[in-house]
Amino acid sequence: MSAIILTDQYRDFFNNPSGVRQGAIGSSLAAGSVFGSAIAGYLSDRLGRRNSIFYSCFFWIAGTVLQTATNGFGMLVAGRILNGITVGITSSQVPVYLAEIARKEKRGSLIIIQQLAIEVGILVMYFLGYGCTFIPGPASFRTAWSMQFIPCFFLMIGLPFLPESPRWLAKVDRSEEAVQTLADIQAGGNVDDPIVVAEWQEITTTLAAERSALPGWRKFVYNGMWKRTIAGFSVQMWQQNSGANVMTYYVVYIFGMAGLSKNVNLISSGVQYALFIIGTTIMFFYVDKVGRRPLLIYGAIAMGVCHFIVGGVLSTGAYVPDGVDGNPNIKILVGGSAGHTVIAFCYLLILFYSMTLAPVCWIYAAEVWSLETRATGMGIAAIGNWLFNFALGMYIPSGFQNITWRMFIIFGVMCFLGAVQFFLTFPETSGKTLEEVELLFSGNVKAWHTKPGHSKLDEMIDEARDNRFTMSEKHKFGHDEHVEVASYAKV
**pLDDT for res 35:** 94
Q: How far is CA 278 from the centre of its chain?
A: 18
Compute mean pLDDT per 10 residues along the chain, 491 residues long, and list them: 86 88 88 93 91 96 96 95 95 87 79 87 88 93 94 94 90 90 88 86 76 68 80 93 83 88 81 89 87 94 96 92 84 91 94 93 85 81 90 83 90 96 92 76 80 66 61 48 39 34
Predicted TM-score of the model (pTM): 0.76
SS3 category, 433: coil
**pLDDT for res 363:** 87
For residue 35, give the nearest of 395, 391, 387, 392 by alpha carbon: 387
Nearest-5° angle of CA 55, CA 60, CA 66? 140
Domain ranges of the chain: 8-163+214-437
Q: How far is CA 94 from the centre of its chain?
A: 9
**Residue 333 — φ and ψ, nearest 5°?**
-140, 125
The domain covering 8-163+214-437 belongs, at the CATH homologous superfamily level, to MFS general substrate transporter like domains (1.20.1250.20)
**pLDDT for res 466:** 65
Write the CB contacts of 43 (distance below 8 Å, at least 6 apart in sequence). Answer: 52, 55, 56, 89, 93
Cα-Cα-Cα-Cα dihedral of 398, 404, 410, 415, to 10°? Answer: 100
Helix (H) or strand (E) holding 248: helix 245-257
Q: For 406-428, give the secondary structure using H, E and C.
A: HHHHHHHHHHHHHHHHHHHHCCC
Write the CB contacts of 228 (distance below 8 Å, at least 6 apart in sequence). Answer: 368, 369, 370, 373, 377, 441
SS3 category, 475: helix
